Amino acid sequence: MPSIDYDSAAELTEQLEERLTKSLGNGTNVDRRTVLGGLGIAGSAAVGLGSTQVSAAPSYDDEDEDEHGNFGAVDEYHDTNFDPHEFLTAFNTGETDRGSVPQRVYEENGRTVREFEFIAVDTTITIAPGIEFEAWAFNGQVPGPTVRAVEGDLIRITFENLGQHAHTIHPHLKNLNPEMDGTPQNGPGVLDTGDSFTYEWIAQPAGMHFYHCHSLPLKEHIHRGLYGTIIVDPDPERVRNNPGDYVHDHPSQITDAMREDLVEEAKTRNHEYAENDAVNEMVMVMNSFDTDFDGENEVYAANTRAFAYGVGQTDAKGNWTAGETKRPIQINKNERQRVYLVNATEFDFINSFHTHSQFFDYYDHGTTLMPTDKTVDTIMQTQAQRGIIELDYSDHQPGLYMFHAHQSEFAELGWMSFFEVV
């Protein structure tokens, strides 16, 4: 592959990244128009970029801080090793401890239980080179840990609040017990500093789901980072017995051959089946950051860090001088690619996902085993909407293929990425 492709991609990433961080590094009172204006006038003067901490006090409708809950001791939990590349494939199934997520899996009353320990903390996260953001986070990371279970399992999360404000965990699942809804009105309500509660949810329906804090003001608790994903794998035997539940239209016309196809597809989505190993799976959470707390975002990203999947300096042979912090997502062209995508963006009506030189199948909410949209290259999601994207690069030449939000300003403000097909 000619090196010029990599050189120009690296130059583009560096140019956008440098202009964004320079604009934000000038101070906290920087709105989106100021940043985009800076993108149009590339400065020639060198700007020193130290660790600029974005810490302006929030001004959302001038809410009283006490509306968030009681104040208390702040736990010193700092996840300085968050890597958006590692996060892509960090599926927490209860089988092993993964970093900051204590977890275990066991049988109880004939049902598989996947148990996790979550804590809410106040911490500082890096959202761009030299730019930090004061976040509220589950287990010290944004996005929060990805929980993965099989349809019908019991998800048990012991949650302790060690942050300064009152928090909850609300799941976007089919939850039959109102006490477990994670809202201020139900069950234990909001948990003040030092309080804990154990949430229990049946993993249903199969699909790609969302969880977040539901304390008020909701917009700030989500924007600050209290959200993550729950993946519920389909049970192939249940699919065999109830195939109509996994197609979005014409369930009465399912033939025996279609039933078997659905079962085989379910196995590729179930982490306990060998067929799953033939698919490269990734989690991408589209998020954003209002760095001056004026109700408008200045930074956009997939998995928190702007341009994390951009291109650094490389010899085009897999050796990246930018190290772990900035590189494209390398994929094997002979593997099927699956993206679990969710939109956690606050202050914007929609976000989007667009692939260059490629089309994909999309499964809205991931609740079906047949595509809800076939052969598309752009999809839109409102906040909390999610879905599964299936990609096939087997007939593509090796090299770089861009993907990004197709709101152009989102891409210029951080949500611009590349796949490297090898």
pLDDT in tens, 171-213: 999 999 999 999 999 999 999 999 999 999 999 999 999 999 9
DSSP states along 37-73: HHHHS---S------EEE-PPP-GGG--GGGG----P
d(C-alpha 195, C-alpha 177), whole Å: 21
Q: What local confidence, expressed as pLDDT, does residue 30 receive?
A: 58
Beta partners for residue 26, in sequence order? none
What is the chain's mean pLDDT, rounded? 86
Pick the CATH number of 66-236 from 2.60.120.480, 3.90.1150.10, 1.20.1250.20, 2.60.40.420: 2.60.40.420
Q: Is the pTM of this model over 0.75?
A: yes
How do the domains of the chain map onto residue ranges? 3-52+277-421, 66-236, 237-269
Cα–Cα distances in angstroms (integers) from residue 336 to residues 304, 339, 373, in the given order:
25, 10, 18
CATH superfamily ID and name for 3-52+277-421: Cupredoxins -  blue copper proteins (2.60.40.420)
Task: Report strand pairing: 91-92 vs 146-150.
Answer: parallel
333-392: per-residue pLDDT in tens? 999 999 999 999 999 999 999 999 999 999 999 999 999 999 999 999 999 999 999 999
Compute how many other C-beta atoms are within 10 angstroms of the C-beta atom of residue 350. 15
Lowest mean pLDDT among 69-83, 105-119, 120-134: 69-83
On the 0-12 / 13-18 / 19+ scale of CB atoms within 10 A, 65 is exposed
Q: What local confidence, expressed as pLDDT, does residue 9 receive?
A: 86
Do 3-52+277-421 and 66-236 share a fold?
A: yes
Mean pLDDT across the stretch 229-235?
Answer: 98
Cis omega (within 30 of 0) on the bond before 178?
no
